[in-house]
Each structure stands twice: as structure tokens, then as C-alpha cells.
Amino acid sequence: MTTILHLDASGRHTGSHSRALTQMVIDHLDSPNVEIIRRDLAEPKPELVDEAWIFSNFTPEADRTDGQKAHLAASDELVAELQKADIIVLGVPIYNFSVPAAFKAWIDLVARAGVTFQYTETGPQGLLQDKRAIVVHTSGGTPVGSDIDYASDYTRHVLGFLGITDVQTVAADGLMGDESAGIAKAKAQIEALKLDARTEEPV
């Protein structure tokens, strides 16, 4: 059984290209031997890390109060989804050259020292290894992979920091110029994806 975590970060539901494309990825990879975990970061939005969360997170697990455990409950649930998943399909549209705020909030909740990464004598080490990520980036005008794209490299870096180094990108950019061409390019990349074999970077 393969478990896929399907995560969308777009603030839009109606007319969202990233949501439509992540669903195409799911439909393309789905089979009787696949379990899908669905996580929509738009509703409800992930909580923001605050002082109480930080103190709770850095309190040793055995010493946490019931209140501190409650502060970390949402984060624990998001981390458990990542830990269970074999493949993570992420819809990350480019907003103002970077990632949506809801996606950044999700990252802050799942990047936890001693849980999803650890510090070693040779530097940080990700603990979410042997997983694969397929990231759908959409953009109206920012070319994916360009000097003004601060979303795709950041997303890849954070996933790698957590141990997820097998990252494939599906890009639909230039949608405000030639929408049909951008979507067609992304669809071709999706059709090249395989469920049971790790492929070369489509972009």
C-alpha cells in the first residue's frame, strides 16, 4: 500500500490552477493500492507559531503539561501525516514571488528539531527520509526557476532539510500570458510521472 499526502496551499478554491493540477497528479497516480490523505491549508488555515507554541515545542516531551500538549496537537497531526506518507503531492502557487502564507505556516509547524530533523556533529539531518515529493507550482507571471522565483528553490530546500530529497516539480507558469500553453506543459509533466518508479525531474 502506498500512502499519498495531497496538500494544497492555494487561497482559492474556485478557479485555482494549482488545485486542479494537484488533483490531476492524484488521479494519475491513484490505484486500488493507494491511500490518499487530504490536507487543505486554506480551510482551516494552519495556526501561526507563537510564544506558547515555541515554549511547548522546546519543553522535553516527558515534561510537557496538558496545556503544552494541546498547543502542539495540530502540529503533531500534521507531522504524523508526513511521517505516514510515501509520496507528498503539494500545490504551492507562487504569490508575490514566494510561497503562500498558509504554506509557510505549515512548514513552521512540521519542521521540528528531534521530530522531523535533528542536529548532529556534521550538521542538521532530515528524519523524513525515503519519501518522494511532487510539487506543483503555478504562477501568473513569475517564471518557475528564474531569479525572481523565491518559491520553488525554497520549497525544495525545506523538503530536503526534512530529509525529502527526491523532489519533482510540475510547473505551470506564465498563466497570465498564455494560460493554455502553461497548463498544457504541466499536464505533459504529470503524464510522465510514475507511481512505483522515481523518475527524472520533469522540468
Q: What does the pLDDT profile of the chain (203 residues) look like in tens digits?
A: 999 999 999 999 999 999 999 999 999 999 999 999 999 999 889 999 999 999 999 999 999 999 999 999 999 999 999 999 999 999 999 999 999 999 999 999 999 999 999 999 999 999 999 999 999 999 999 999 999 999 999 999 999 999 999 999 999 999 999 999 999 999 999 999 998 755 445 44
Residue 11 inside a domain? The answer is yes
Residue 102 inside a domain? The answer is yes
Is 146 labelled as part of a ligand binding site? no
Q: What pLDDT score does 202 carry? A: 46
Domain count, the chain: 1
Residue 199 inside a domain? The answer is no
CA dihedral 109, 115, 119, 125 (to 10 degrees): -90
Spatial CB neighbours of 52, under 8 Å, sequence gap ≥ 6: 68, 71
Is 16 labelled as part of a ligand binding site? yes
Q: What pLDDT score does 130 carry? A: 95
CA dihedral 126, 130, 131, 132 (to 10 degrees): 110
Residue 119 inside a domain? The answer is yes
> Quick one: residue 105, left, alpha or beta (phi over 0 = left, psi -120 to 50 = alpha)?
alpha
Is 10 labelled as part of a ligand binding site? yes
Is 123 labelled as part of a ligand binding site? no
Q: What pLDDT score does 195 carry? A: 84
Computed from CA positions of residues 14, 18, 24, 29, in that sequence, does the dihedral angle turn out positive or negative?
A: negative
Is 139 labelled as part of a ligand binding site? yes
Is 18 labelled as part of a ligand binding site? yes
CATH of the domain at 23: 3.40.50.360
Is 17 labelled as part of a ligand binding site? yes
Is 137 labelled as part of a ligand binding site? no
φ/ψ of residue 126, rounded to 5: -75, 145
